[in-house]
Amino acid sequence: MLAKTSVCTLMALLLGAGLPAAAAEPGDLAEPAAAAEPGDDLAALTDEQAAVAQAMLDFMASLESDFWQRVDAFNHGHSREESFAWDFPENGHYEVRVHRGDVIEKAGLMTVRTTVEKPPFINGLRWNRFIEVAVHPRTPLVGMLHATLSVQVSSKGVGNIGATLDMMQSAQPEEDLQLMRERVSAVLQAHGLPSDRYRSRGCGKPNAGMWKWHRLSTCTGISMYGPKLRADRPTFALASELYRAVVDSYFEILSRRVQQPFGEVELAAQDRMRRRWLEDQLFWDMLAKTFVPYEAWSAVNAPPTVHF
């Protein structure tokens, strides 16, 4: 006679003996399916939203692989790497990777899945992803790169896409700024949009009043946010193509200038840009001030050095 034996043990004995286990009866209780985590419920999306979510995941994976290959090539394969991951309560999951070197002093990439909603900017309780890349080259002849892209589907099922893509103002030659403008304009025009659509209104503002702490942007890229930018395939195609155009153009510009000599005037321009970027994140940028934790944003985009 068998002693008291657990169901799992009996199943193992039957399978080990080569005997088929009994099929589950209709009334047997199945294990409940694990609930999707906040911001990661693909099953709750429409077919169109699910297609955009998968496109975003594919884009992020491809971008990250290509980004690090380029950064490490500039640094001749000698980048020093750092990785961070945080789960912030009532906020989200953040992952940051940083490479440091002699040519690109600091490059950062951050991915985020938020787990709460805080309108008007954080609205992705059903599904969301965010990616940011930042580049700080040693040469002051190329400004900092700042490029973000987000896809969100809210608890009410409303999908939204947003992006900020730009190069900060250091001591760039005008021809490099014009190259970036033309590449961005070409993407906009290919999508039937005027070349000035989504251009930032923050350029040329005085360093005073409400703009006192605003970053020194070249406005060669775009800033696209708003309720009309729904999470559909045409909008994602536009945003992702703009992202690629800005990043590709940036590395092309950097390859032109990386060996070019510079002096104290150019270094002073770089110092001003880096200080203004830090001030922007501390005192002006709404998400950095009120939602994105300091540990995360400083890891990915804070300058490698700041002079006051």
Looking at residue 250, what is its pLDDT?
A: 98
**Can you say whether the dihedral through the CA atoms of 116, 122, 127, 131 is positive or negative?**
negative
pTM value is 0.88
How confident is the chain (308 residues) per 10-residue block, as mean pLDDT? Answer: 36 36 46 78 98 98 98 97 98 98 98 96 97 98 98 97 97 97 97 92 78 92 93 98 98 98 98 97 95 98 96
Looking at residue 31, what is its pLDDT?
A: 55
Q: Which domain holds residue 112?
A: 38-301
Cα separation, 287 vs 71, in Å, equals 27
Looking at residue 141, what is its pLDDT?
A: 98
Looking at residue 227, what is its pLDDT?
A: 87
List beta partners, residue 107. Answer: 99, 135
Provide the domain count of the chain: 1
Please report, as a single letter, which amino acid is at residue 39. G
Instruction: Work out whether strand 92-100 and strand 222-224 pair parallel, antiparallel, or are unpaired.
Output: unpaired
Is residue 113 in a domain? Answer: yes
Cα separation, 3 vs 6, in Å, equals 10
Please report, as a single letter, which amino acid is at residue 54. Q
Is residue 50 in a domain? Answer: yes
Looking at residue 33, what is its pLDDT?
A: 56
Is residue 28 in a domain? Answer: no
Looking at residue 32, what is its pLDDT?
A: 54
Tokens coding 116: 């709460």
Is residue 18 in a domain? Answer: no
Is residue 121 in a domain? Answer: yes
Cα separation, 303 vs 216, in Å, equals 14
Is residue 6 in a domain? Answer: no
Is residue 8 in a domain? Answer: no
Is residue 25 in a domain? Answer: no
- CATH no. for residue 131? 3.40.1500.10
Cα separation, 177 vs 173, in Å, equals 7
